[in-house]
Amino acid sequence: MYAARQRIMVMIGGSFLLSSVVIFFGFHIFAGERGILARPELDRKIMLAEEKLDLLDKQHNFLSRRIKLLQADSLDADMLAETARAELGLYAPNDVIISIDLSNLKFSDSNAEDDVN
């Protein structure tokens, strides 16, 4: 009688443990941090990260071209004059100045930087 009761308790305990594991993983498949319900949020974060990457690639290409124009082996006279005028503040009255400020680039979501990191 004691062995039968112990066998029943082991079966109940095993069933409870197995059902607990199934419920745990089932919950996390649907509602976990990377579950099915979190997919739209993950897609949004991926899209924002790709936008940020595109912006950084454009900035990198822009700055790479400017650096190449200022290197000693391929020095561009116009770029040298532009840089000298910008650094020294020497502009003629008839100069037209077009300034590109890359430090104030904005993303479509204000929390994009926090979400991506």
Tell me, what's the pLDDT at 12? 93
Tell me, what's the pLDDT at 106? 65
Q: Is residue 73 part of a domain?
A: yes
Q: Is residue 7 part of a domain?
A: no
Q: Is residue 67 part of a domain?
A: yes
Q: How far, in Å, CA of 80 to CA of 73, rounded?
A: 13
Q: Is residue 102 part of a domain?
A: yes
Q: Is residue 33 part of a domain?
A: no
Q: What is the extent of the structural domain holding 52?
A: 48-116
Quick check: helix, strand or coil at residue 78?
helix
Tell me, what's the pLDDT at 117? 44
Q: How many domains does the chain have?
A: 1
Q: Is residue 112 part of a domain?
A: yes
Q: Is residue 24 part of a domain?
A: no
Q: Is residue 56 part of a domain?
A: yes
Tell me, what's the pLDDT at 87? 82
Q: How far, in Å, CA of 46 to CA of 51, rounded?
A: 9
Residue 80: partners with Cβ closer than 8 Å, 6 or more residues away: 70
**pTM of this structure:** 0.51
Residue ranges of the chain with per-residue pLDDT less than 50: 110-117
Tell me, what's the pLDDT at 107? 58
